[in-house]
Amino acid sequence: MPQQADDAREPDPAHPEEGRQRRCFTHYWTERTCASLVATESEGELLDHTAGNRLRSKGIGPGDHVYVVSLSKGRLVLVGKLEVERVADRHEAAEILAIDPEDMWDAEDHLIASSATPMAFDRLVPLETTERLRFLTGSGSQPLFFQVPGRLDKQTVRGRRELAPESAALLDELLPSMELIELSGSGMTFESQVQEEVYRRMVRWSVQIFGELARPHPNVPVVTIVLPNGGPVVHAMATPIGDDMAVISTRAFVGEDARITPGLMEYLLRENERLPMGGLGLDQDGRIVLDHSIHGPAATPDDLSLSVSAVASIADSLAGEIIPRWGGVSGRDHWNGMNQGV
């Protein structure tokens, strides 16, 4: 059963915790598309996905809000709203949604939702609200075009258009709260709602910051970040603490197969006292690791970027001290060896 998203009704389009401005768009569905979904009894289902061409080039990305609209006898219909989790191609979207690719819309860009409202195909936007809607242009904003008073021109809502923040808030007043959507195409399970929320933000930020270097794991709430130029590998994890807390933990492997001696243990303890952030330890396989944690619900993309970069840099530096004295292989060299088939 989907869970309600805590801040889904916030009308403020700013996304301060992500360090970027959330953008809001309308996306048009034809009356025929809506009629086919009514026929398949999709009314009331969550708006987990929509698709079209050139969505990426229009600037739609993770964290943005998309309002699906249609027309009925010249009146604006508000089908629902989704928050973008990721923009995928047809086959990626089919895998995520656990749908046969042949049953997907034939479009180059597919928007996968992290949360959404239920769909309604008879939700008419009041005429007064429709007249107040404004869409951003290169020179300012403009309203929708009416063919005659009270009847919208069909071309005025086609494609996708960027809403002014105040207009997005007007549409929010007509919608129920968004609900979190389960990650259908994976074996992912979460111990709490807050862990899932923190994980979703962590994945979105990792992709925004590190691009293709960020690799979400398909079955566990971990993102592996392979830093460029053969740099260290950092694992970012969404770790629950009880039912109402979660942290983002970043981990880099300093080295493995080192000789675990009293001298090494003393060195790690003394370095822990000296480190500006994070802590050193041994994992269950005897590998030397450097961990750092940040408060998940209050974290920002800058926090994640700093944590990943710092953990990687410190781990690399410590490996240069530890490996010559106690042997073993650094985390960097181990990863590079694996990828070269060594």
Domain enclosing residue 319, as ranges: 193-339
pLDDT score recorded for residue 214: 84
pLDDT score recorded for residue 227: 83
Task: Mark whether 127 and 148 lie in a shared domain.
Answer: yes
pLDDT in tens, the chain (342 residues): 344 443 333 333 333 334 457 899 999 999 999 998 898 888 999 998 999 998 888 889 888 999 999 999 999 999 999 999 888 888 888 877 777 888 888 899 999 888 899 999 999 999 999 999 999 988 889 999 999 999 999 889 887 789 999 999 999 999 999 887 765 555 578 899 899 889 988 988 887 788 778 888 767 889 999 887 766 789 999 999 998 999 999 999 999 999 999 999 999 999 999 999 999 999 998 999 999 999 999 999 999 999 999 999 999 999 999 999 999 988 777 666 555 443
Tokens coding 42: 């999709």
Examine residue 263 and state whether it is found in any structural domain, yes or no.
Answer: yes
User: What CATH number should be reported for the domain holding residue 267?
Assistant: 3.30.1460.10
pLDDT score recorded for residue 20: 54
> Which residue, among 177, 169, 158, 134, has the nearest Cα to 31 in the 3D structure?
158
> Which residue, among 55, 104, 49, has the nearest Cα to 82 in the 3D structure?
49
**Interior/surface letters 127-162, b for 16+ CB within 10 angstroms, e for the rest:** eebbeebbbbeeeeeeebeeeeeeebeeebbeebbb
Task: Mark whether 22 and 63 lie in a shared domain.
Answer: yes
φ, ψ at 49 (rounded to 5°): -170, 140
Task: Mark whether 170 and 214 lie in a shared domain.
Answer: no
The owner of tokens 């944590």 is 307
Task: Mark whether 226 and 317 lie in a shared domain.
Answer: yes
The packing angle between helices 301-326 and 331-339, to 10°, is 100
Task: Mark whether 171 and 46 lie in a shared domain.
Answer: yes
Task: Mark whether 213 and 160 lie in a shared domain.
Answer: no
Examine residue 188 and state whether it is found in any structural domain, yes or no.
Answer: no
Query: What is the torsional sign of CA 43, 55, 206, 257?
Result: positive
Task: Mark whether 227 and 134 lie in a shared domain.
Answer: no
pLDDT score recorded for residue 217: 79
Examine residue 120 and state whether it is found in any structural domain, yes or no.
Answer: yes
pLDDT score recorded for residue 342: 36
Helices (H) and strands (E) in the chain — how many of each? 8, 21
Task: Mark whether 156 and 61 lie in a shared domain.
Answer: yes
Examine residue 187 and state whether it is found in any structural domain, yes or no.
Answer: no
Examine residue 130 and state whether it is found in any structural domain, yes or no.
Answer: yes
